[in-house]
Chains A and B, each alone.
Chain A
Amino acid sequence: MKSADTVLRLEGITKRFPGVTALDGVSLEFRRGEVHGLVGENGAGKSTLMKILSGVYHADSGRILLNGAEVAFRGPHEAQKAGISIIFQEFSLIRGFTVAENVFLHREPVRLLGHLDARAARERTRALLDEIGIELDVDRKADELSVVQQQVVEIVKALSVTASVLIMDEPSAALTDKELRKLFEIIRTLTAKGVTVIYISHMLEEVFEIADRVTVLKDGRVMGTRPVRELTRDELVRMMVGRTIEDYFPPLGGGQGPVLLEVRGLSRRGSLSAISLELHAGEILGVAGMVGSGRNLLARCILGLEPCDGGEIIVRGRGRPPRSFHDAMAAGFGYITDDRKAQGILGPMSIQENVTIASLGSYLSLGFLHRGRENADARRQMELLGIKGTGIGQTVQTLSGGNQQKVLVARWLLRQPDIFVISEPTRGIDVGAKAEIYRIMREVTGTGKAILMISSELPEVIGMSDRILVMRAGSIAGMIDQRAGQASEEQIMSLAVGHEYSIHQGGAP
């Protein structure tokens, strides 16, 4: 390709976080005026790459060349000054500020002594809106705008510093179809002016529609960059997933027991629509889906942590939906969240205190805690789950991620819940600990309990689930019964991203 066309070039970008290599020698080039799609599974490194490009993170090694010159940014505003703007998944607007105030945040037009020239800001904002053909009241406050309007403000903010590269991270996540059309129109207007748009999305149809070229990232490496018109959807999906399932998963459970949990038509406006499912004793029901598909929200609604608008939740035949998490616990639920640090462990407290915290009621006698029984139970649980530490008095924050996760499992097992909801059971823990967690999960279902497992790791979903529920945009995209034959990553991905999949892709090996 002609190098004159290249506006931005990455050479050997590597970024490591404790325990993971997020990006491994990524080399890429973006051309002037193209829409460059960037796709990959959760955790493939897309967001990390974009954060490096926009100066939020720094690469451990590698170079970024903008118009042929090496650049290093200390923050997004420096990247923006140089012409690279990013529109984050969570918008970066000040809620109480107007459109014009947000567009010129920190670059406010001023007169003498820093006195604001509000009229200039409004007029320049209006001119920029005209440029992309959008009508929007520049005096409206950001929190009164619709999602696409907020996006427009972000785009205009980027244009106000003459962006040559505009990065959009999952821009369609909260857009309606109509709004998406409008966004595409704006993108085409921009590229016609020579702006390069980097479009990150899970939604492959969108990439096929808007992108000129697409780059696939997987496990922090570039799998390839191809012109979109030379590519079929199946090829793209294969580039994204194509790997084998590691063999540390225990065999699937036995037959289906009685129904422990039944959900009928669970809905929440704008985020969940008519979800129905059954969870049987002795099974693991895996819930797969992309970020924002509602998989975690579903769990939180079932557990009474989020309100829902309609539907029934029937626990062991009793139609009494949990109104609070306290209710859910009483009804026999246990819950391990995907955020171990913030919503799981009590870091500065001991293993013993962490293990018994959800069952304290059973240690009370005359209002006092029976420490002896507590200690004995904690010790037993520690041994049972193979928690490696100096003793039950060790503070949990000093344990490894895998052992922290086991502490959480121990906490809930002590309560003996009938239904376990586990989100991302092995996030951020090493392979050995993973295998042990998987073994424990199988033991749990072996005793007639059920697990609802939400996971973004496809091998885990396939390796552990008796049945797989795939969610997409707040509804059920499909249910795969693995006892009839193992699902493939392609099959789940196809359902999750919403392009029709052919049966012959799945099937037993």
Chain B
Amino acid sequence: MKTAAKGRTGGRRPWYRRLTEPGVLVWLILAVLIVFCISASPLFIQAENLRNVFLTQPIGLGLASLGQAIVVISGGIDLSIGSVISLLSSLAAGLYRAAPGIHPVLMALVLVALGAAAGSVNGLIVVGLRVPPFMATLATMSLFQGAVLFYAPRTIGGIPASYRFISDGQIAGVPFSIILFVLVIAACLSLMKGNRMGRHIYAVGSDPFVSQISGIPVRRVRFLAYLICGVLIGIAAMFMTARFGGGGPKVGVGYELDSITAVVIGGVSLAGGAGSLLGTFAGVLIIGVFYNIMNLLSVNAYLQIVLKGVVLIIAVSFYAKRRV
């Protein structure tokens, strides 16, 4: 059949065409941004700064953004991420205050379990009560933020050094947090690209109707996306509690919007069904580099927020054009 045979190489486009795909383009943008930073400030290229920008800073937001990306790919959104992180870190600090002898591993597991529980709450509201994701997680954002303020209006310190191994420790000279992050992103990549469940998450986000008539349990898949996101948020909270050495209502502030920004810059479609986790990670790095160069150039902190909005608009409009 001639007609069907034509364009057999469709899956393998020339390399230069692939550069315009959102998941690839974002790395190019990152590269351009880095070149700009190097020329704009001599401080940027210094080892201490580079380690901070590329190894230390991106982990918390990176973990949270992976969760956000999975939910967005499934066709949802999670606005409660920041408040869940704040709540979990406060609970961890509170737990340590009540029982200082808790083994760090147990504490870490508790946080992951609590994250999964928070994700389940979101999932149940979206799937069980059929509340649109935006509204559901806007409501739980308020719910969790209120809960943390009620529980601990101020920062609680006192996280023991044994627990802080998560952020400060090293194994054979490699920071433990890096190992943790690499493992998590590898697991997520394998889930989303190599696993049946990930395939279904993409399918449901892409076209719920087609998924349903193909027999995919659409509601269960949506719930699972929130559950997985919750686990990742739990891991993020686990890391950030260690890094800050405490917990409080402000630990996760801004993470919901920063994670959405990273996801969008990384080329994940807010309409669901498309995008990659690696692209999202590039988005996280872009945000980190952006904040960093703003600080190095001593741009006013409030002006930075304004500029962040501008960058987000440019990024989204750019992709919007690509898609049509």
Contact = CB atoms under 8 A, between A and B. Distances in A.
A457 B156 CA distance: 73
B184 interface: no
Given A96-B273, A178-B3, A179-B3, A139 B194 contact: no
A75 B274 contact: no
A152 B3 CA distance: 12
Contacts of B202: 94, 96-97
B3 A144 contact: no
A196 interface: no
Interface of B: 1, 3-5, 7-12, 190, 194-197, 199-200, 202-203, 206-207, 209-216, 273-274
27 contacts: A75-B212, A76-B213, A77-B214, A77-B215, A80-B215, A94-B203, A94-B206, A94-B211, A94-B273, A95-B206, A96-B274, A105-B199, A105-B203, A106-B214, A106-B215, A106-B216, A108-B196, A108-B199, A114-B195, A115-B194, A116-B199, A135-B5, A137-B8, A137-B11, A139-B12, A140-B10, A179-B3
A179 B2 CA distance: 10
Contacts of A118: 194
Contact of B11 (A95, A98, A106): A98
B210 A75 contact: no
Given A101-B199, A136-B4, A144-B10, A92 B214 contact: yes
A95 B1 contact: no
Interface of A: 56, 75-78, 80, 92-98, 101, 105-108, 110, 113-116, 118, 133-137, 139-141, 144, 146, 148-149, 152, 178-179, 182
B210 A93 contact: yes
Given A135-B1, A137-B9, A94 B215 contact: no
Contacts of A107: 215
Nearest to B200: A106
Given A96-B273, A135-B4, 13 more contacts: A93-B210, A94-B203, A94-B207, A94-B210, A94-B273, A105-B214, A107-B215, A108-B196, A114-B196, A114-B197, A144-B10, A152-B4, A179-B3
Given A92-B213, A110-B196, A97 B203 contact: yes
Contacts of A133: 1
B21 to A, nearest CB: 12
A178 B1 CA distance: 10
Most A CB within 10 A of own CB, among B1, B12, B195:
B1
Contacts of A178: 3
A144 B8 CA distance: 11
Interface SS majority for chain B: helix
Contacts of B12: 139
Contacts of B206: 94-97
B195 A116 contact: yes
B195 A105 contact: no
Given A56-B213, A92-B210, A141-B11, A148 B203 contact: no
B73 to A, nearest CB: 11
A93 B209 CA distance: 10
Given A92-B214, A110-B196, A115-B194, A146 B3 contact: yes
A77 B8 CA distance: 30
B213 A182 contact: no
Contacts of A116: 194-196, 199
A94 B190 CA distance: 21
Q: Which of A80, A98, A136 has the most CB of B within 10 A?
A: A136
A141 B10 CA distance: 8
Nearest to A144: B10
A106 B5 CA distance: 27
Greatest chain A CB density within 10 A among B197, B206, B214, B273 is at B214
A83 B255 CA distance: 49
Contacts of B212: 75
A509 to B, nearest CB: 48
Contacts of A114: 195-197
B95 to A, nearest CB: 32
A148 B210 CA distance: 19
B188 to A, nearest CB: 14
Of B195, B209, B215, the most chain A CB neighbours within 10 A belong to B215
Nearest to B198: A116
A75 B213 CA distance: 6
A97 B202 CA distance: 9
B134 to A, nearest CB: 21
A140 B5 CA distance: 11
Nearest to B273: A96
A98 B206 CA distance: 13
Contact of B216 (A56, A101, A105, A182): A105
A388 B220 CA distance: 46
Nearest to A157: B214
A115 B5 contact: no
A149 B195 CA distance: 27
Contacts of A77: 213-215
A178 B9 CA distance: 22
Contacts of B213: 56, 75-77, 92
Best-buried of A114, A134, A178 by chain B (most CB within 10 Å):
A114
Most chain B C-beta atoms within 10 Å of own C-beta, residue among A56, A115, A141: A115
A95 B7 CA distance: 17
A105 B206 CA distance: 12
A265 B3 CA distance: 31
Contacts of A96: 202, 206, 273-274
B207 A149 contact: no
A66 B9 CA distance: 42
The 7 lowest CB-CB distance pairs between A and B, nearest first, are A77-B215, A139-B11, A114-B196, A140-B10, A76-B213, A135-B5, A106-B215
